[in-house]
Amino acid sequence: MKHWGNQLRQIAGVFGLLLLAATPQLAGAQLVQDRDFRIINTPLAVEGKGKIEVTEFFWYGCSHCFDFEPVLGPWVKKLPADVVFRRVPTIFPNNKWAPGAKLYYTLEAMGLTEQLHAKAFSAIHQERLRLDDDFVLLDWVAKQGVDKAKFKEVYLSFAVNARVQQARELTASSGINGVPAVIVQGRYQALSRGNYEDLLKVIDQLISRARSESGASSTAGKK
C-alpha cells in the first residue's frame, strides 16, 4: 500500500484486529470489565454538558476505521436526544497522523464534515490518494467544489492547529493503543471481540450505564 505509509497502516490494522476477534452474545448480557469495556482511570473532559458523550477516536488512514464508518454512521443518526457524538482524529507520539487531524478539523470548521468526511476515507482507501500531502489534498478539495484558497487558509489557521493539539492531548489521556476506539462519557472504552455491530451493542449498554449513573431520564426523545 502506498497511502499514508505501509508501516502505519499495518500497525492500525493489527490494533483493529485485536478489537475484532470472536465474542460472546451481548444482547441483554451484563457488561464485564476488561472484556466488554475498559475504565479510563482519569476520565476525559466531555464537551456535551448535560449530555452523554460518545467519542470515536479514528485515523483516516486506518482500514478498520474505513470499514467501521458505514456501520457507525446510521447508528449515530438514531442516537437519543440526550446523547451527543463527536470524533477525535487520533495522533500518536510519532505525529505522523497529524495531517489527518488537520484535515478533519478543517472540514469541521468549514461545515463540510457531513459532505466530505466519508469521501476523504474513500479517497485514501479506494482512490489511493495521499491526502497527507498538502498538494494532493488541495487538489482533491478543489475537485470537491471547495474553494482551495479558503480551505488552505483554514487548514493553516491557529484555530485548527489548536484543535490538533487538543486531539494530541486527548489521544494521550485516553490511553488507547489503536483505532477505531470508542469512549462513552469520557469514562468507558467499549471493547468487542466480535464484529462492529457487537461493538455498537456494547456502546449502547455503556450509554445506558452512564445515563443511570447520571440519574438522567432514559425516555429522552430521538433526534
Residue range 107-157, pLDDT digits in tens = 999 999 999 999 999 999 999 999 999 999 999 999 999 999 999 999 999
**Residue 119 domain-assigned?**
yes
* Average pLDDT of the residues of the chain: 87
Contact 88, 57 (CB under 8 A): yes
Phi, psi of 88 (to 5 degrees): -125, 115
Question: Is position 25 within any domain?
Answer: no
Cα dihedral across residues 31, 32, 37, 42: positive or negative: positive
What's 157's DSSP letter?
A: S
User: Does 146 map to a domain?
Assistant: yes
Is 213 among the domain residues? no
44 is a domain residue: yes
Q: Of 104, 81, 83, 101, whose CA–CA distance to 91 is shortest?
A: 101
Q: Specify if 216 maps to a domain.
A: no
The verdict on residue 158 lying in a domain is yes
Domain that holds residue 110: 6-20+30-187+195-208
Overall number of domains in the chain: 1
pTM for the model stands at 0.83
Q: Is 104 helix (H, G, I), strand (E, B) or coil?
A: helix
- Which CATH number covers residue 180? 3.40.30.10
Can you give the pLDDT at residue 193? Answer: 76
157-182 pLDDT, tens digit per residue, is 999 999 999 999 999 999 999 999 99
Residue 215 lies in a domain: no
Residues in a beta bridge with 182: 56
How many whole angstroms separate alpha carbon 50 and alpha carbon 103? 29
